[in-house]
């Protein structure tokens, strides 16, 4: 026999109990609450979670399940079509409402809209809430009623707007009289068979508790020096909250309300930058695969699988680029300044399409967020909203010298260069044979020679940009 009427809380990218609008409203219903997570890979459209994100998801779901059990509840896990799972549970458990927090990725918006309609057809109500952003994208527009395409006006528009009130975590949750069957977490096969994730455990603590601990540490030790140190990859100068935000283990509203101050403004701007990314993705849903600036569809990109593999493996011959790519592979994360340097190298020095870089980041980042990843790559490629001009080309040598002046970051991630003096650390090919030998470096053997010269790569990028401009002018 089915349970007496209950409500389903459908967890997605909101794997927390505190400040969870959908969970709070479900608790206020007075009915038993059935927490549910569905692994619906087909429902994610072209962007199911990459390998590093799947690792994080496994551990975050385990932590959420433990939290719910401490409240006398449990997390029901199912794999398959979101609609099929929901409709089966609505029928078998006599659920009258399904609560969830909205996601704003294009494929998810379409899917959820259809699910709401179909729930109504079977006598249940779908109720959704904004639990992932400061403000819902449809509610934000410029003075002409159009989407923002430049960050500074977007920031000025959002900064004075009040954010919603925080909702408390439930102290208890009324359980159904009988729990439906749940898949074991291990059946989701989220963890890798080959243990390439070993170092992840030293760097991350997925789950709401881990997010709170990270925020507390940043507020006490990192916030005051954030503006000065956020561009220095050797320093612990950033919050590292991005994967916690992506999986909804903490909300941007929690960060905003807990950190809001003049001192925190440089960091809060980054929260709004994240907001801007989601605003753009919502209004321009083709941008994960197509440039926002259409002229870049005719950009003369190159296909160079050998160079792409060298970039992925951190074997480009440019130490700051290689350090970042190795940090990414080892920890599932890369410092943001180095992300910009490494990304610029791929699309400008190598002329490899930004979509190739976005796909690699998607698979290897624990904070792989479709909106942030898309905007970041289009920004560096010069083809998105408020993007860096394409002709602005990062010099990987001077960037390393400027932001890793003592070489601590490079020496950590490219240890074969550890004995080189700072003078040559970011351009080891400039060292004499004697200096290389003294540092136990043999170019082409223990460390690669540059796969492209900086001046050569820069000029090729400028030439390609000029050809695109000329083609646009001919067409107009």
**Global pTM value:** 0.96
Residue by residue, DSSP assigns 94-113 as TEEEEEEE---SHHHHHHHH
- The pLDDT of 270-274, averaged and rounded, is 97
Bridge partners, residue 38, by sequence: 78
Asked if residues 300 and 468 have their Cβ atoms less than 8 Å apart, the reply is yes
373, 336 contact by CB (below 8 A): no
| Confidence grade of residue 26 (pLDDT, cut at 50, 70, 90) | very high
Average pLDDT over residues 155-164: 94
Separation CA 198–CA 53 (nearest Å): 14
pLDDT, tens only, 97-147: 999 999 999 999 999 999 999 999 999 999 999 999 999 999 999 999 999
The enclosing H or E element of 168 equals none
Mean predicted confidence (pLDDT) in 192-204: 96
Going from the C-alpha of 123 to that of each of 90, 91, 98, 119, 175, the distances in angstroms are 9, 10, 11, 6, 22
What order do you get walking across the sheet with 95-101 strand by strand? 76-79, 33-39, 6-11, 95-101, 125-129
Predicted confidence (pLDDT) per residue in 383-427, tens digit: 998 877 888 899 999 999 999 999 999 999 999 999 999 999 999
Tell me the backbone φ, ψ of residue 441, rounded to 5 degrees. -115, 125
Cβ neighbours of residue 70 closer than 8 Å, sequence gap 6 or more = none
184 burial type by CB count under 10 A (0-12 exposed, 13-18 middle, 19+ buried): exposed
Q: Which domains does the chain have, with CATH numbers?
A: 6-131 (3.40.50.620), 133-163+200-283 (1.25.40.80), 294-471 (1.10.579.10)
Q: Which two tokens stand for residue 256?
A: 């905003």
From the list 110, 112, 132, 148, the residue with the least C-alpha distance to 280 is 148
3-state secondary structure string across 264-305: CHHHHHHHHHHHHHHHHHHHCCCCCCCCCCHHHHHCCCCCCH
């Amino acid at each position: 026999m089915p349970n007496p009427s209950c409500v389903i809380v459908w967890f997605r990218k909101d794997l927390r109990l505190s400040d969870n609008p959908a969970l709070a409203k479900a608790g206020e219903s007075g009915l038993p609450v059935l927490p549910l997570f569905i692994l619906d890979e087909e429902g994610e459209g072209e962007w199911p979670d990459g390998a590093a994100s799947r690792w994080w998801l496994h551990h975050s779901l385990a932590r959420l399940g433990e939290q719910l059990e401490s409240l006398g509840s449990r997390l029901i896990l199912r794999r398959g079509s979101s609609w099929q799972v929901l409709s089966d549970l609505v029928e078998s458990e006599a659920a009258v409402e399904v609560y969830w927090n909205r996601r704003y990725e294009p494929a998810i918006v379409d899917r959820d809209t259809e699910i709401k309609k179909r729930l109504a057809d079977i006598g249940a109500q779908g109720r959704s809430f904004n639990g992932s952003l400061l403000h819902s994208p449809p509610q934000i527009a410029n003075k002409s009623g159009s989407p923002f395409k430049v960050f500074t006006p977007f920031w000025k528009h959002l900064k004075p707007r009040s954010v919603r009130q925080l909702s408390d975590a439930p102290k208890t949750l009324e359980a159904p009289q009988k729990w439906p069957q749940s898949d074991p977490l291990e059946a989701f096969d989220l963890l890798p068979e080959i243990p390439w994730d070993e170092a992840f455990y030293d760097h991350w603590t997925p789950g709401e508790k881990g997010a709170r601990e990270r925020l507390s540490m940043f507020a006490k030790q990192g916030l005051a020096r954030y503006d000065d140190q956020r561009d220095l990859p050797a320093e612990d100068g950033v919050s590292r909250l991005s994967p916690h935000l992506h999986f909804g283990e903490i909300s941007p509203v929690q960060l905003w309300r807990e950190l809001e101050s003049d001192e925190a403004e440089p960091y809060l701007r980054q929260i709004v930058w994240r907001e801007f990314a989601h605003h753009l993705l919502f209004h321009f849903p083709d941008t994960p695969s197509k440039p926002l600036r259409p002229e870049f569809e005719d950009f003369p990109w190159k296909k160079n699988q050998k160079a792409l593999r060298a970039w992925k493996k951190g074997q480009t011959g440019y130490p700051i680029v290689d350090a970042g790519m190795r940090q990414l592979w080892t920890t599932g994360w890369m410092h943001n300044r180095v992300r910009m340097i490494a990304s610029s190298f791929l699309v400008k020095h190598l002329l490899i399409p930004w979509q190739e870089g976005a796909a690699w980041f998607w698979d290897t980042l624990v904070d792989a967020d479709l909106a942030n990843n898309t905007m970041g790559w289009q920004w560096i490629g010069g083809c998105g909203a408020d993007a860096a001009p394409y002709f602005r080309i990062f010099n990987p040598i001077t960037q390393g010298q400027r932001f890793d002046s003592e070489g601590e970051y490079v020496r950590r991630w490219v240890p074969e260069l550890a004995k080189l003096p700072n003078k040559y650390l970011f351009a080891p090919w400039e060292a004499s044979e004697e200096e290389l030998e003294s540092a136990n470096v043999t170019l082409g053997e223990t460390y690669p020679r540059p796969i492209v010269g900086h001046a050569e790569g820069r000029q090729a990028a400028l030439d390609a940009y000029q050809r695109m401009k000329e083609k646009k002018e001919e067409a107009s």
